[in-house]
Chain A
Amino acid sequence: MIKLHDIHKYYRSGDQPLHVLKGVDLHIREGELVSIMGSSGSGKSTLLNILGVLDSFDQGTYLLADRQVGNLSETEAARLRNQFIGFVFQSFNLLPFKNAAENVALPLYYQGVSRKERNYRAEQFLDQVGLSDRKTFMPNQLSGGQKQRVAIARALVAGPKVILADEPTGALDSKTTKEIMALLKDIHSRGNTIVVVTHEQDVAAQTDRQIILRDGQVANSLEPLQQARA
């Protein structure tokens, strides 16, 4: 599903370019639930942004669902994101003036889906994340866990190939964290590919594979059994 080869990323910082990703090689298969871990400054957010086609890279190749990603115009990148990727953010990023169903329906709006169809599908996905009774609630009327459920429904609604979750439980208490991880695992069990960036060991432990970034490179990639031994 995702193939990265020798990805390099530089940021301009004063006179010296800052080399953030130093040749990342990564292969995520379809249907995998993967976590990316690393200390602060290891480059995991930059990697996630590149995976999400939110940021460009300076060197290397990236194949997303057999599509070459790189040198895309902003319009092409937007279409790719819309069709292939669902995002779940730490701070939910719900639009405050839209209710739960309207927030969920937003990616479909950019696909040109009719209002009626959008509403129908948004309600279906809200049902799936257990919020059938909160469809018309505004974000400020929802708890943190409920907001993240809305965000997950929004990530799923357009039928993406992969879901990228950036610290999805970072702003939640431990009970809600468990609920959200359970939901993500449930979604994964239906065949979705999910990449979770986290710094929480507990969260990472629930994924099929942990990818650890260190100093801009993949340090190791552990399967659950290896994780347990490690």
Chain B
Amino acid sequence: MLDGLQEILFTLRQNKLRTLLTAFGVFWGIFMLILLLGAGRGMQNGIWQDFGSEVLDFVIVWTGDTSVPYKGMGVGRQIKLDDSDIEAVKQQVRGIRVISGESNLGTGRISYGTKNADSQIAGIPDDYFRIKEDVPFNFGRKTNPLDTDENRKVVVLGKAVADRLFATGEEAVGKEIRVKDVVMKVVGIFYDKGNRGRNSERVLMPQSTYRQVFGGGPRTDNIWLRPEKGVDPFELEKQVLEVIKRRHDVAPEDKRGVNSFNMAMPAQSVNALFIGITIFIWFVGLGTLTAGIVGISNIMIITVKERTKEIGVRKALGATPFSIVSTLLLESTLVTGIAGYIGLVCGVGLLELVSFGLRKAGVTLPYFLNPEVDFQVAITAILLLVGVGVLAGLAPAVRAARITPIEAMRAE
């Protein structure tokens, strides 16, 4: 094996420029493929970032004033949701993974010492955090069932609120703040990127505490849902709306009385866009790589032609067809492998450099974030390279193995 390798390196050294140019074809193919895939991923990351910290399968339902007369009732009737709606939906609609209410107080004054902030105040049940499961809690914890059961006066603050109330570096968790003049203890800080960061301008407390302190009874302003795996989110949304509209005598076509938003809709179109982009990238990348393969294949054909006499002499001296084929295959695989690997490393290196540069300079490009390449993609690329090397060398190698020694030695 080592001897074979030395033989090959020796041959490659004989045609340095040719080897270099051929290798460059493959290097460029892989380099471009990696860059394109990285840029595609950067775009994907950028677009997903716009989705904030939301899970991609939630449905939210809220109510307003009716806009369609129904069952003898006029327009402008205010529809209000409460816990019985949640119970009814739970009972009547199948395929719900999580359901949670949310009571909103609107904007209220939050104070800590001499510092004040006006922010949205909401009461949430424990299941709310199963809807917002991707929202990171950088400090402290979420509210929990014990807080709910004991009506504890605890809150979790959005990062924007915490930044306004507490000095940089000051520990917020464990401190007591005033929420509309009610003293409550901070137990956690979350950072919700959704709504361009505005979702972090909120203060959340257990729904039981909220109701005890601010009243409102079983009223709930929004209903959040997530479907079980395999359940069509659009069908689920439709059924939930039907149940609520039926309970509140709202016309089926009334979109203002009971309204909803389904995250699956934008997620679906963005996913379709990404699939399209990924297919396009692989198409272009593989096209470039194919040009490299054709280059190597061509060079190998020329090499075989040039070395026909040498192959004949080797055969006369005892080289078996297998040793001829394996030497040529190893040669093409070696050139593709090394050139491609360098292309892979350079491509990943450049992506990392761009990513690092953007982070360091604090530049945020619209719809572009962290260009990167998956480990899986890198492995695919390496396997592709070995395959490509074998493929490029196969036809010329088989051709070389078929030449008889006499024919070969006669060649000039």
Task: List the interface of chain A (C-beta within 8 A of B).
Answer: 49, 52, 54-55, 74-75, 78-79, 81-83, 87, 89, 93, 95, 97-98, 106-107, 109-111, 115, 154, 158
Contacts and interface: CB of A to CB of B under 8 A. Distances in A.
B8 to A, nearest CB: 12
A49 B406 contact: yes
A74 B320 contact: yes
Contacts of A83: 318
B320 A93 contact: no
10 contacts: A54-B404, A81-B318, A87-B317, A89-B409, A93-B309, A93-B316, A93-B409, A97-B11, A98-B10, A158-B318
Interface in B302-318: 309-310, 313-318
B316 A95 contact: no
B406 A110 contact: no
B321 interface: yes
A106 B314 contact: yes
Given A54-B404, A110-B320, 18 more contacts: A49-B406, A55-B404, A74-B320, A74-B321, A79-B318, A81-B315, A81-B317, A82-B317, A82-B318, A87-B316, A87-B317, A93-B309, A93-B313, A93-B409, A95-B313, A97-B11, A110-B318, A110-B319
Contacts of B323: 110
Contacts of A97: 10-11, 14
Contacts of B318: 78-79, 81-83, 107, 110-111, 158
B320 A75 contact: yes
A152 to B, nearest CB: 14
B70 interface: no
Contacts, number: 57
B327 to A, nearest CB: 11
Given A74-B321, A81-B317, A54 B405 contact: yes
Contact of B406 (A54, A75, A81, A82): A54
A87 B405 CA distance: 12
B145 to A, nearest CB: 74
A87 B3 CA distance: 23
B322 interface: yes
Contacts of B405: 54
Contact of A154 (B7, B11, B317, B320): B317
Contacts of B3: 109, 115
B320 A78 contact: yes
A78 B321 contact: yes
Nearest to A107: B317
Which residue among B10, B309, B316, B401 has the maximum number of chain A CB atoms within 10 Å of its CB? B316
B317 A75 contact: no
A110 B321 CA distance: 12
Given A49-B406, A97-B14, A81 B316 contact: yes
Interface of B: 3, 7, 10-11, 14, 309-310, 313-323, 401, 404-406, 409
Contacts of A98: 10
A81 B405 CA distance: 11
A92 B155 CA distance: 93
A196 B14 CA distance: 34
Across chains A and B, which 6 residue pairs bring their CB atoms closest together, nearest first? A82-B318, A110-B318, A78-B320, A75-B320, A93-B313, A107-B317
A83 B406 CA distance: 19
A95 B14 CA distance: 12
Contacts of A110: 314, 317-320, 323
A52 B314 CA distance: 14
A154 B310 CA distance: 15
A164 B50 CA distance: 80
Contact of A55 (B313, B320, B401, B406): B406
A108 B357 CA distance: 57
B11 to A, nearest CB: 8
Contacts of B321: 74-75, 78
Contacts of B319: 78, 110
B130 to A, nearest CB: 67
A211 B274 CA distance: 80
A52 B316 contact: yes
B17 to A, nearest CB: 16
A217 to B, nearest CB: 22
B355 to A, nearest CB: 46
Contacts of A79: 318, 320
A79 B323 CA distance: 12
A95 B312 CA distance: 11
A156 to B, nearest CB: 12
Contact of A54 (B7, B11, B314, B316): B316
A95 B409 CA distance: 12
Contacts of B310: 95
A84 B126 CA distance: 87
B246 to A, nearest CB: 82
Contacts of A55: 404, 406
Contacts of B309: 93
Contacts of B11: 97
Nearest to B7: A109
A226 B309 CA distance: 40
Contacts of A107: 317-318
Contacts of B317: 81-82, 87, 106-107, 110, 154
B322 A75 contact: yes
Contacts of A111: 318
Nearest to A78: B320
A138 to B, nearest CB: 12
